Structure 1
Amino acid sequence: MIKKDFPILRETVNGKPLVWFDNAATTQKPQSVIDRIAYFYEHENSNIHRAAHELAARASDAYEAAREKVKTFLNASSVNEIVFVRGATEGINLVAQSWGDHNLVAGDEIIVSNLEHHANIVPWKRLADKKGLKLRVIPVDDDGQILLDEYSKLLNSKTRLVAFTQVSNALGTVTPAKEIVKMAHAVGAKVLIDGAQSVSHMKVDVQDLNPDWLVFSGHKLFGPTGIGALYGKEELLNEMEPYQAGGNMIQDVTFEEIKYHKAPNRFEAGTGNIADAIGLGAAIDYVTKLGIDAIGQYEHQLLDYATKLLKEIPGVRLIGTAKNKASVLSFNLQGYTNDQVGQALNREGVAVRTGHHCAQPILRRMGVETTVRPSLAFYNTTEDVDTFIKTLWELKKVRF
């Protein structure tokens, strides 16, 4: 049973077995990832790329092997297209500062969708305010689905960048990513995809999708926190200005001139998060062994099971009812605040997220400020869902 691979899932909360339904916030880690990080510190710990001794070679080999695993996982053309960052947020900020700040001028337009996480809104809004850019928003329908006809109306010769999520963290909506990219490129715009919520649920092939950049976070892919990756087309990365400056990203330094490395090193200044990059590689190994298509199929069945049962509870309003969804269920329960629902679930060992999920614009579009958000992963079971549903029914019996 897959649950046995995740030691934290043997924990109890309030005397009850832990049911981890907060996967959109962060996923739990299999023993193989934990062991790989421990092995690094026990046998390989060294800085990388900078010494002739044995441990430096071991650490450098392991770090670059992890980059190769990310490249294969995303089907990138080259390891030079994979930059290690702290996570999706840093990846977006890197593009905003390294490309956006140096290439966009007053009057240029950036398009984002109404579904975005704050991490894919705030960097662009800050840049727009700084440089006199126009930020435009792709609307969604009442189910939380992108309106492609409205998107097409936003695109014009001033559109320089389209930045959007492949899967909404607040609603679970799967966006028509390939079509959005193609439409943006048709007017000469660059495209960034936020893949933080998609890479753990579905195959993400950057050669097929054809974005200019794609970002994701390791901790949402059963890997460590504080590590993620930015994919970027190699030629484009090499045209971009360095994001940070220091060691590891330079070819030569004099007081008169600095020569930078090409990608990816030009964007990896200083000592990186070596151990957790290697841990991310181990997480990709684990997911690859299970099979991302099998994961997606199982999670879809579990989502359908949970959705059907949730809809049967009187007073539940499901927020986000797109036809194509990943494993997120946002809802409100009549008669209770979202925090009260979350606390009741916690008493039964069920961990869910309550709040605005760093996605206030889309929740307000749906007419709410906050939701309860259970989010599923492949180690969850129908029994976990039953515990969750049973608790909600008991809440209804108390009030009505």
Structure 2
Amino acid sequence: MSTSTADDAATIFADATAYADEPRLHAAMAHLRRHNPVARVDHGPYRPFYAITKHADVLDIERDNKLWLSAPRPVLTTAAADDVAKAQLDSGAGLRTLIHMDDPHHRKVRAIGADWFRPKALRNLQTRVDELAKSYVDKMVEIGPECDFVEDIAVHFPLSVILSLLGLPEADYSRMHKLTQEMFGADDAEYRRGTTLEERMATLLDFFDYFSKLTASRRENPTDDLASAIANGTVDGEPLSDVDTASYYVIVASAGHDTTKDAISGGLRALIENPGELDRLRREPELIGTAVEEMIRWTTPVKEFMRTAAEDTTVRGVPIAKGESVYLAYTSANRDDEVFDDPFTFDVGRFPNQHLAFGYGVHFCLGAALARMEMKSLFTELIPRLDSIELAGDPELAATVFVGGLKHLPIRYSLRAGK
């Protein structure tokens, strides 16, 4: 029986600035994978947890959703935020998205929106996604020869896709983007609304206020959109509570575009910094599918989820007691050299690519197929029209302990006009 030991490298997971400093991050993760793959982290302001850094261990935990539960600690938040969330949930007023739920309730709630992300529905959406992709590449031509690819393009393309699927008016898109920035960027000085827990919670209240009104509207006057499906969804014959309905909207509207933004912008950066791979895609456009998977592995927009042990158990010989939590370090798992050949090489033809950026098992990302479609559509439109591209400044990454990627990607480019 092994025991977990404290390791200074593991404190990186309790440091929101770490994901904005990739050399420091990856050096620490490589050390942990090699020397302490199940490392205990006891570093305020967070409650203790075990950092799981090997691909095989993350996969095993994801597979066993009866032993490893999402509740009550689905993501890493401070002890104070944990306490507030518990009090809210106990009162029936807290955020409870799909990532907070366990089976069998999780499976039933997930089914409410699942049909909108199945192959038939996505085939019907393909033409609209292609049109939007072309319009945003055309926009690059209009605003060129320089732009901030994150703020000008990568944010707005997936935002337009997911919010139009929900049926939200275009006038509200900027509001949804701002609230998403504040929620996922709560640890970033540029994005956060404030520094206190109360100020951060106000973002969630604004989300709830917006979506409570949307729920009432769609229940009174249902329309043919995802918002109506959620508003009128039932579990065991009963409608979702107002809180669960609003929570469903929050996760779809926010994660449904922000994570794709991170993969798109980080993917373009990887092509710029690896021009040989960009040339390869120009020569072999049939590699766009594997290129998209590599972009997703490379960026891993969702950095972690937490799981809590339902019973006493072990991970790699390390005892984990009932009620203790583990941190699934997806970014580390996706650079594990026991799974990926040359994991720090960006390879648009990498196959197979067993990345865990969408999670695994019952909590596999509901919108994974849509994200892949959007990325394929955008890069299929962009790459053949691209004559040249380079960085026009330093890329900037967001500080985060949950979801994040590039905040700014200044580029200089030459693009041909579309047909």
| More helix as a share of residues | 2
* More RCO (CA 8 Å, sep 6+): 2
Q: TM-score, normalised by structure 1?
A: 0.30
Please say which structure displays the higher CA radius of gyration: 1
